[in-house]
Amino acid sequence: MQERRKTRAPALLGLGLAGLLAGCFDPIHGITRNASLPYRPELACIEGAICSVPEVRSVRAWSCEGGCPVTLTGLKPPDRLYYFTYDIGVTQPTLLVSIDYAGRVELSQHLISVGHRLPQAQVDAARPVMIRIEKVLEEHCGLGPLEIRESCSGVDCGDDRGALHAPRR
C-alpha cells in the first residue's frame, strides 16, 4: 500500500501543477510597438505629440511605480512608468514610457487583449495612428530616428513597413 502511494503522489502532483498552469496562461492578442530611447523625453512633449495626431480625441496620462527588480547585487528601486492612453474613437491604445533602475528608457505602444481576439477593425485603426505618433515624437521631441520593433499576435498587422522603423510619409 505504501509503495503504491509513492508512485501515485508524483503523478498527482504533476497533474495538479499542469492544471494550475493551464489556467494561468491566457493568450494575449494584439499589437505592440517598442523602441529604446536615449533619455527620458519631456512628458509634456509626449502628450503634445499624441494630441497633435488628428485621429486622437483625448489623452489620459498617469504614472506609477513598477515592481522592484531583484538582481545579483540585490533589490533595486522600482521602475517608473508613465502611461498615456489615447482615444481614437473605435479603441484606446496606450503609449508607455518606462525607466528602470539603471536609467534605461523604453517606449512602447500597445493595443492588446487577454483571453480573446481583438476586432481587426481596431488594429487597422490603431496601427497607423501609432506610426504617426512615433513620427511626431521623432520630429518634435528629439527622439529620432526610432528603431521600432513590432509584434503582432492573433491579429493581422498588414505589411511589415513598421516592423523595424516607422515609415516615412
Q: If you search the block for the grid coordinates 508613465, which residue do you land on? A: 82
User: pLDDT-derived band of residue 157, with 50, 70 and 90 as boundaries?
Assistant: confident
Give the domain extent around 125: 27-153
Note the pTM of the prediction, 2 decimals: 0.77
Alpha carbon 122 to its chain centroid, in Å, reads 16
Among 114, 75, 79, which Cα is nearest to 96's?
Answer: 79
For residue 15, tell me if it sits in a domain. Answer: no
Contact 135, 154 (CB under 8 A): no
pLDDT at 111: 96
Among 40, 55, 149, 43, which Cα is nearest to 100's?
Answer: 40
For residue 22, tell me if it sits in a domain. Answer: no
Q: What is the spatial distance between Cα 61 and Cα 80, in angstroms, rounded to a whole number?
A: 14
Residue 161 has pLDDT above 70, yes or no: no
For residue 41, tell me if it sits in a domain. Answer: yes
> Into how many domains does the chain fold?
1
